Structure 1
Amino acid sequence: MKPSHWLSTLIGPFTPDAGLLFARVTGALLVLHVHGLPKLLHFSDELAHIDDPLHMGRALTLYCALFAELVCPVLVAVGLLTRLAALPFLFLLLVSMFLVHPDWSIADGQFGWLLIIVFGTIAVSGAGKYSVDAHWRS
């Protein structure tokens, strides 16, 4: 039995759509766990310490970050308005990498750059067939 045959029997077909589903769900869960939920659970502390690189005010900056790190990852995970939902998080990451942490080397910011790659791929590719977006199109 070829390895690809028994693996696909065990865990399903290896397709670009399955890869997009994996990237969407795991990327979104990572963002929720590492960024979104801690900001929500420690809102007051975050408000006192958040950088405000666009000079919108700390409260508005935090609300925008919460939208990008809570609401948008949930939409990306389920594949609802996926390309659009990836954009606020990408914007937040780019602001963080270029304005908040411009002194970081690529190694220092590798987590952020990897998230830019994952969410950028999702923004370019869309959600794939295992998504609410695909269900609505059919």
Structure 2
Amino acid sequence: MRILQYLLSQRNNQADWSLLIIRVTLGAFMVHHGLGKLLNFEQYSTQFPDPIGLGPFLSLTLVVIAEFFGGIAVMLGLLTRFFLFLMIITMAVALFIVHASDPFNVKELAAVFLLIASGLFISGAGKYAIDSLILKAIKK
């Protein structure tokens, strides 16, 4: 308990702890969001929406990469900005194209994911991420 109090009392660490919490939470939600698509890939691959003309199979493949595999990478803080970029594109397409004519309550989850991913993309993964360890190793 004292260690946690110490870490939280350090002003410089608060932003990094916040980024860790937000990153892990977004990643977990994205993994959950993409898991159904991954587990039912064969079934969805012929009927998945094709909003930008890539075909249902490729569209689904890109969404699974962004949501499921990207979610895992974002939780770990591995290639964070790359996978956040994929999430941003995926959620923007979902929000502004796939669900464009739907009521707000249908598209609000995509909007929330888009905003959180955009904020993390701007801020970066933070100190408690594999990306940070890689950068430290490169600088040595």
Flag whether TM exceeds 0.5 (same fold). yes
TM-score (norm 2): 0.85
Please list, as runs of the form range in 1=range in 2, the aligned pairs for 1:51-130 lying within 5 A after superposition: 51-130=49-128
1:27 maps to 2:22? no
Answer whether contact 2:70 2:87 (CA < 8 A) is retained: yes
Structure 1, unaligned runs of 5 or more:
1-5
Once the two structures are TM-superposed, the CA of residue 104 in structure 1 deviates from its matched residue by 2.7
Q: Distance in 2 between matches of 1:84 and 1:125?
A: 13
Give the aligned CA root-mean-square deviation in angstroms.
1.8
Q: Distance in 2 between matches of 1:32 and 1:116?
A: 15
Answer whether contact 2:45 2:56 (CA < 8 A) is retained: yes
Q: The residue matched to 2:119 in structure 1 has which SS? A: helix
Once the two structures are TM-superposed, the CA of residue 17 in structure 1 deviates from its matched residue by 0.6
Q: The residue matched to 1:13 in structure 2 has which SS? A: helix
Structure 2, unaligned runs of 5 or more:
none
Q: Distance in 2 between matches of 1:83 and 1:26?
A: 16
TM-score (norm 1): 0.86
Structure with greater contact order relative to length (CA < 8 Å, sep ≥ 6): 1
Answer whether contact 2:46 2:57 (CA < 8 A) is retained: no
Instruction: Find runs of 4+ consecutive structure 1 residues off by over 2 angstroms.
Output: 104-108
Q: Residue 8 of structure 2 aligns to which amino acid in structure 1? A: P
How many residues are treated as equivalent by the alignment?
A: 130
Q: The residue matched to 1:109 in structure 2 has which SS? A: helix
